[in-house]
Chain A
């Protein structure tokens, strides 16, 4: 374990990469409250260099949660988030949410966690004094109380809200009789939790943290500590706070856009045991017996990520024919080559290959995670590509799958159709690349794609994906304004605003919903608030099609001109020339921010190899 003096000297030497590496290691090995406080204090002078995204978290609670604050702030910092935390008054969450003058609203949070426990929310259920026939009525009342709080929150701010499920008692009041019938105390709690989920699902930006499952995962009897509860009203034991903080992080990462899009995996001793180039197909370990079954579990965990929309790629030091033979011939392989969007099987260094993979997949290096059993390879990637999220693995394969499943960097709060089908997109993409490589002019290539786009106003069905695109798109994004689902919904409902979504497909497959244009109209001028395109379709003139559509709609709505800002970020240089390339003139420049304008008497040409379908029949 790194000692504190090493960290202090790295920080004094302004070696912020080494310092954060050491701090992360210290905290991972001893995730105590004292270490969290130490790390936060030491990191103060290097915070600037860490390029953190700000996030304001309010924890409204019914019990003492304060020790979680430094821990979740330290964890967030390691994941690129500058977390400011407000803790509500003790058991005052109702009044804080209902009173517009409360310090909670003054804090103006981005995310709100309602940290409650059964004995505070429904003491009668905790005490076992509710009759089974009254469970439904009790659950309905609890749901309507929550509904009321959500309405109050929504009428004032657009923050995301995270509700907790009620936890089961360690010992149900009827003992083992509780599980012999459907009328026990735990059934009462399950009834309330079901209603709570239904209530959350009705609202955009309201999510459920399964507090009961969290406690069960780590063990009910050690989660709590009666001594501290009875003396200080603190129900959790000292070591539970880090688990609580990690659970909060699983929500904060997707809400702050700090998740990874792709997982790059090693092969030998990572997804099978042994080295294929030395051991051969018959000797590698993969199958029903240990350690082969441990590697099967790893493959299962990777497949689950694939289904969640995580792009997979291979980076392995091997002769390609040896490694590919395993995919083609080994009976126990769960992963197939068509699960992978890109592969690098060669003898080059891993950082070099990973850089190429990022370019191949057209995603930023910081959107990649790396899984490798070899600590030396992990260290090399950490040193040379500090943006990559390197997943730490324990020494033996038995716990590889759990290590992969417990990392918060692949969490998603909503799953769009695009997420589910992402694997297929990248397969089609490889076929497109082969077509392009087969020669011919760019025009011929475009024509041969047979691209069809559909453009129309955002609908309830597409709102999650539209918000997700505003939050995740970095490269082709003119203004990089991030919007929640609620914000998109309120713009769509405002007659001065338009939120248009573009879906695309070609003969190789569907791209899904990949483009968004958000505009408003004031005094004859249509201003483009947001204009973005998923990296999947950049370079196929779909961006021209969307701009042409927006301009034509503005002109037919009586607008004289169309304007748009280019707001530079660290990543959106690819969109810098977009407006001038389409005949816009620059009319304002301010600190790198460029404002462009175009006279709507001049049409913006539609690329004639793209077919447009408009669909306005939907609500």
Chain B
């Protein structure tokens, strides 16, 4: 999957879980600037990403996933 495709996938998951329009989710989106991205949405985002990418995150990875940009970093550097 290309990095662009991963970005689109992450965007749509964040949007769907937080129940906001996809257009509102950008690379910079995070729980601090997107009100709907609360702790519960965070749980669901992590779960949905695991199911979508077939990867179980480590505790360190989960703790780093605090913005769309950081999520992309984790996903693109994850062990294949």
Taking Cβ atoms with an 8 Å cutoff, the residues of A that contact B are 32-34, 37-38, 41, 64, 66-67, 225-228, 230-232, 234, 237-239, 241
Top 7 A-B residue pairs of the complex, sorted by shortest distance between their CB atoms: A32-B51, A238-B50, A238-B47, A231-B62, A34-B48, A227-B59, A231-B59
Complex: A77 Cα to B48 Cα, angstroms: 21
**Would you call B47 and A227 a contact (CB within 8 A)?**
no
**Would you call B16 and A38 a contact (CB within 8 A)?**
yes
Complex: A231 Cα to B39 Cα, angstroms: 12
Provide a sorted-by-A list of 5 A–B residue pairs whose CB atoms are within 8 angstroms: A34-B52, A67-B43, A225-B56, A227-B62, A231-B62
Q: For the complex, is B17 an interface residue (Cβ under 8 Å from A)?
A: yes
Complex: A64 Cα to B43 Cα, angstroms: 9
Given contacts A32-B52, A34-B13, A238-B51, contact A228 B46 (CB under 8 A): yes
Which residues from A are CB-within-8-Å of B59? 226-227, 230-231
Instruction: Point out the residue from B43, B51, B63 that lies within 8 Å of A234, measured CB to CB.
Output: B43
Distance of A483 from chain B, by nearest CB (Å): 36
Which residues from A are CB-within-8-Å of B58? 227
**Would you call A232 and B52 a contact (CB within 8 A)?**
no
Which residues from B are CB-within-8-Å of A41? 16
- B residues 29-70 in Cβ contact with A at 8 Å: 40, 42-44, 46-48, 50-52, 56-59, 62-63
Complex: A64 Cα to B63 Cα, angstroms: 17
Which residues from B are CB-within-8-Å of A33? 44, 47-48, 51
**B12 closest partner in A (C-beta):** A34
Number of A-B contacts (CB under 8 A): 51
Which residues from A are CB-within-8-Å of B13? 34
Complex: A231 Cα to B52 Cα, angstroms: 20
Complex: A388 Cα to B15 Cα, angstroms: 37
Distance of B72 from chain A, by nearest CB (Å): 18
| Residue among A226, A227, A239 facing the most chain B CB atoms (10 A cut-off) | A227
Apart from A64-B43, A225-B56, what 11 extra A-B contacts exist at CB < 8 Å?
A32-B51, A33-B47, A34-B51, A41-B16, A67-B43, A226-B59, A227-B57, A227-B58, A232-B42, A232-B43, A232-B62
**Would you call A66 and B56 a contact (CB within 8 A)?**
no
**Would you call B57 and A66 a contact (CB within 8 A)?**
no
Complex: A32 Cα to B48 Cα, angstroms: 7
Which residues from B are CB-within-8-Å of A241? 47
B interface residue count range (under 10 / 10 to 19 / 20 to 34 / 35 or more): 10 to 19
Given contacts A37-B17, A38-B16, contact A66 B40 (CB under 8 A): yes
Which residues from B are CB-within-8-Å of A37? 16-17
**B41 closest partner in A (C-beta):** A66
Distance of A17 from chain B, by nearest CB (Å): 25
| Residue among B13, B46, B58 facing the most chain A CB atoms (10 A cut-off) | B46
Which residues from B are CB-within-8-Å of A231? 59, 62-63
Complex: A375 Cα to B79 Cα, angstroms: 40
**Would you call A67 and B44 a contact (CB within 8 A)?**
yes
Distance of A218 from chain B, by nearest CB (Å): 16
Complex: A232 Cα to B13 Cα, angstroms: 19
| Residue among B47, B58, B62 facing the most chain A CB atoms (10 A cut-off) | B47
Complex: A32 Cα to B40 Cα, angstroms: 17
**A226 closest partner in B (C-beta):** B59
Distance of B28 from chain A, by nearest CB (Å): 23
Complex: A66 Cα to B43 Cα, angstroms: 9
Distance of A222 from chain B, by nearest CB (Å): 10
Complex: A231 Cα to B65 Cα, angstroms: 12
**Would you call A34 and B62 a contact (CB within 8 A)?**
no
Which residues from A are CB-within-8-Å of B47? 33, 67, 238, 241
Which residues from B are CB-within-8-Å of A34? 13, 16-17, 48, 51-52
**Would you call A232 and B51 a contact (CB within 8 A)?**
no
Which residues from B are CB-within-8-Å of A225? 56
Which residues from A are CB-within-8-Å of B43? 64, 66-67, 228, 232, 234
Which residues from B are CB-within-8-Å of A239? 51
**Would you call B56 and A237 a contact (CB within 8 A)?**
yes
Which residues from A are CB-within-8-Å of B51? 32-34, 238-239
Which residues from A are CB-within-8-Å of B40? 66
Complex: A228 Cα to B58 Cα, angstroms: 8
Complex: A130 Cα to B22 Cα, angstroms: 52
Distance of B9 from chain A, by nearest CB (Å): 10
Complex: A14 Cα to B46 Cα, angstroms: 34
Which residues from B are CB-within-8-Å of A64? 43
Which residues from B are CB-within-8-Å of A234? 43
Complex: A402 Cα to B50 Cα, angstroms: 28
**B40 closest partner in A (C-beta):** A66
Complex: A33 Cα to B56 Cα, angstroms: 15
Distance of B5 from chain A, by nearest CB (Å): 16
Which residues from B are CB-within-8-Å of A66? 40, 43-44
**A229 closest partner in B (C-beta):** B59
Complex: A41 Cα to B63 Cα, angstroms: 30
Distance of B8 from chain A, by nearest CB (Å): 14
**A70 closest partner in B (C-beta):** B44
Which residues from A are CB-within-8-Å of B56? 225, 227, 237-238
Complex: A495 Cα to B32 Cα, angstroms: 61
Which residues from B are CB-within-8-Å of A226? 59
Complex: A66 Cα to B44 Cα, angstroms: 8
Distance of A573 from chain B, by nearest CB (Å): 43
Complex: A225 Cα to B52 Cα, angstroms: 17
**B62 closest partner in A (C-beta):** A231
**B39 closest partner in A (C-beta):** A232
Which residues from B are CB-within-8-Å of A232? 42-43, 46, 62
**A239 closest partner in B (C-beta):** B51
